[in-house]
Structure 1
Amino acid sequence: MILLVVGRVALGIVGVLLVVALAVVVGGAFAPRVPVIGFLGSFVSGQYPLHAALAAVVGVAAAAGLIGLGMLRFGGVIAVLAALVLVGTLVVLGTQAAAARAAGVRIDWELTLTAVDQRGAPPDLTVEYLPGLDLAVYLPSGPGPHPVMVWVHGGSWVRGTSADRARANRWYADQGLAVVAVRYRLPADAPLPGATLGEAQRHDVARALAWVRGPGGAHGLDPDAVVLGGQSAGATLALSTTAALVGTPHSSLPPGAAGPPPRGTVAFYPVVDMRQIAPGLQDAVFGGPTSANVGLTRAASPGDLVDPRLPPTLLLLGAADNFIRADLVRGYDAALRAAGVPGRLVQVPYADHVFDHPYGSPGAQIVRPAVLAFVREQISSGRDPSGR
């Protein structure tokens, strides 16, 4: 009798907790603009959709167990709710699988279940390119020269490391694309004299490009086959640095950072309007609010730097991104194409910011081949790196 009571209580707790948690996830996935719930739902559905579906199956099993233990009414309610959230999670998975098929990608579901971060892929070498700042270099096998993607990590301009997409970087290298991941200046690092943090970071990204085109040749890197990519704040830095190297009006770079622009730009969910960032970040990046630093804000905002001379630009976005406002990125993509800048926008359904942080997430598996194909196209096209 005691075991029966304990079993009922344990299954009841499991069932209720799972159903409530998954109801929040599913509700947020289908209503991503609802505060808090929308973020939680799209975050889980973007990064861990298979885990959510399996949790829903456990909820259904718990409900079946309650019914088997004689709790017909309570178990029936839990069963109905668990079935509804299971259907919701399967809709998310099915939609993402359909997006993968449309992109010619076959999802590895075992990888989705097990590869939940980016660990386990150290670089082939680490080199200092500026005093106190280094580059993590991932090299393809065999002799060079290898095409290169210079990668700029995210972290809201104030944190982050060059290892944030280490396993993805190794994947690109295994496909023949070298990756040079940049550690750029953060608030704790030595400042660049006479420059704000945002300007200093663009300086560092431009100098990393210069390293690839100079000393990088000794490591098998092709100086004439370089693209620039990044995610979140790093994507914004990649886009604004490229605009400055092209010479777009309102853009700027500190002295000593000039050079040819990359062949193309790859931007994962960038902030395209720096007026949208939190006041504390405005203070960190510009030394004050954007309203008092109009020139600096323009120079850092890709949306203000659209120019037909920009090189081809690939944008990657979680369709439900709450953090950087997916609608602004879609508008930026439209502005680029209207200006005649080649490229495209790839969107992952039901996904929020940093959907690709788990190496095995469906979104990560969808976008990696898209990035590789884009880079190969730019490298083989022979397009003038100046964007003309």
Structure 2
Amino acid sequence: MNRCAILALAALAVGPASADPVELSVFRDLPRPEPSLQAAYGAAPAQGIDVFLPAGPGPHPVAVLIHGGCWSATTSGREQMRHLGPALTRRGIAVWSIGYRRANEAGGGYPGTYQDVSAALDRLADDAAAHRLDLARAVLVGHSAGGHLALWAVSRDSLPAASPLRAAARFAPRAVISLGGVGDLQSFTRFVPVLCGPGIIERLAPPDRLAEVSPGALSPSVGSIVLVSGVLDRLVPPWVAYDYVRTLPAGSRSAARLVNLPDAGHFDLVTPSAPAWDAVVGLIEAALADR
């Protein structure tokens, strides 16, 4: 059965939508409180981290958030995820929300964007004790372009030794949760100019470096991979997650889980008032639960 037939059957199975998906304009207008504190890991404004801390002495489990926005500086950076800080801290989960230089800003693209993600994760390893964060209970959560970077981050230690992006992880997250993210960047490159504008993909993934930055070309080193898609997502449809799973080595496929949420669009996955968020936060809590 081809992809179009699969999608058609899926649409029939879920029936008509009971609510309209969250639109970008609604997502943009959400209140975004200031974080508990901020940390910088570089000189550029984008090289910063928003930290939200729960009440209590800890140690706290931690969700590392990686924002989306088409890898482009024409959208807001880590500020766009600030509304999720209170939504997680009230559940006792600390938030480490990282910014990074985007493809079309100075120092961004290849290799800077990826090196920023690594540096922000290293800063978490350095600062965890000071903020009472439990790195044995950590999960990476990336939305959209951030989903691509989260999947890449748990695969970077499989890069060739000569790659400037090769980096050994200093802590092992329990899971990576991609929310409408792009795993197989190679198959998605043709859509990036339409969705994100010209020049982004060329700077983010030069043709001779694509195998270093597409998670689908690498081997993940994480026990659980959860790929969450909104069935009504028009930007990163569910087949994008399916394409990524097909690229995984046979031994890694059993760790991957596809979660398709009916009535949800691209921004429902990161909007606390949307029903899809209940499913997302349930996945985060399940990954962080005591074992």
Q: Report the TM-score when normalising by structure 1.
A: 0.60
Within the alignment, does 1:165 sit opposite 2:81 as a pair? yes
Deviation at 1:344, TM superposition (A): 1.9
Structure with greater helix percent? 1
Deviation at 1:252, TM superposition (A): 4.9
Tell me which amino acid in the other structure corresponds to 2:51.
V
Secondary structure of the residue aligned to 1:46 is coil
Tell me if the contact between 2:156 and 2:165 (Cα under 8 Å) persists in the aligned partners: no
Match for residue 47 of structure 1 among 15, 22, 36? 22
Q: Distance in 1 between matches of 2:10 and 2:136?
A: 42
Q: How does 1:55-70 map to 2 (within 5 A)?
A: none
Match for residue 121 of structure 1 among 17, 30, 33? 33
Gaps of 5+ in 2: 1-7
Tell me if the contact between 2:145 and 2:181 (Cα under 8 Å) persists in the aligned partners: yes
Match for residue 181 of structure 2 among 270, 285, 289? 270
* More deviation, 333-342/124-133: 333-342
Q: Distance in 1 between matches of 2:93 and 2:248?
A: 26
Tell me if the contact between 1:268 and 1:315 (Cα under 8 Å) persists in the aligned partners: yes
Give 2:3's aligned residue: none
Within the alignment, does 1:238 sit opposite 2:120 as a pair? no
Tell me which amino acid in the other structure corresponds to 1:316.
V
Q: Distance in 1 between matches of 2:251 and 2:190?
A: 23
Q: Distance in 2 between matches of 1:316 and 1:263?
A: 16
Q: Distance in 2 between matches of 1:178 and 1:251?
A: 35
Q: Distance in 2 between matches of 1:335 and 1:320?
A: 24
Q: Aligned in 2, Cα 1:333/1:273: closer, same or farther, shift over 3 Å?
A: closer
| Identity across matched positions, percent | 26
Match for residue 263 of structure 2 among 350, 360, 364? 350
Structure with greater strand percent? 2
Q: Report the TM-score when normalising by structure 2.
A: 0.77
Say what the alpha-carbon RMSD is for the aligned residues: 3.3
Deviation at 1:145, TM superposition (A): 2.0
Within the alignment, does 1:151 sit opposite 2:54 as a pair? no
Give 1:140's aligned residue: 54
Q: How does 1:307-386 map to 2 (within 5 A)?
A: 307=220, 309-333=221-245, 336=248, 338-340=250-252, 341-376=254-289, 380-381=290-291
Tell me which amino acid in the other structure corresponds to 2:134.
D
Q: Distance in 1 between matches of 2:217 and 2:136?
A: 28
Tell me which amino acid in the other structure corresponds to 2:286.
A
Give 1:185's aligned residue: 101
Deviation at 1:338, TM superposition (A): 4.3
Secondary structure of the residue aligned to 1:217 is coil
Tell me which amino acid in the other structure corresponds to 2:169.
G
Deviation at 1:216, TM superposition (A): 3.3
Q: Aligned in 2, Cα 1:303/1:281: closer, same or farther, shift over 3 Å?
A: farther
Q: Aligned in 2, Cα 1:188/1:336: closer, same or farther, shift over 3 Å?
A: closer
Match for residue 121 of structure 2 among 202, 209, 226? 209
Q: Distance in 2 between matches of 1:361 and 1:209?
A: 29
Tell me if the contact between 2:32 and 2:83 (Cα under 8 Å) persists in the aligned partners: yes
Larger radius of gyration: 1
Gaps of 5+ in 1: 1-29, 34-40, 49-113, 382-388
Give 1:296's aligned residue: 209
Give 2:5's aligned residue: none
Aligned residues: 266
